[in-house]
Amino acid sequence: MSDTDSTAFSESTLRVAAALAAAGHPHVPQMLDDAARTAQQAADALGIVVGQIAKSIIFRRKSDGAAVLVVTSGDRRVDEKKVGALVGAIGRADADFVKAATGFTIGGVSPVGFTQPPVTLIDRELLRFDEIWAAAGHPHAVFRLKPQDLPRLTGAPVEDVVQAPKPQTT
Q: What is the pLDDT of residues 121-159, one digit of tens each?
A: 999 999 999 999 999 999 999 999 999 999 999 999 999
pTM exceeds cut of 0.85: yes
Whether 168 shows a pLDDT value over 80: the answer reads: no
Query: What homologous superfamily does CATH list for 6-159?
Result: YbaK/aminoacyl-tRNA synthetase-associated domain (3.90.960.10)
CA-CA distance, 67 to 116, in Å (whole number)? Answer: 9
> Under 8 Å CB-to-CB from 5, ≥6 apart: which residues?
none
Q: What is the pLDDT of residues 116-131, one digit of tens each?
A: 999 999 999 999 999 9
**pLDDT score recorded for residue 1:** 45
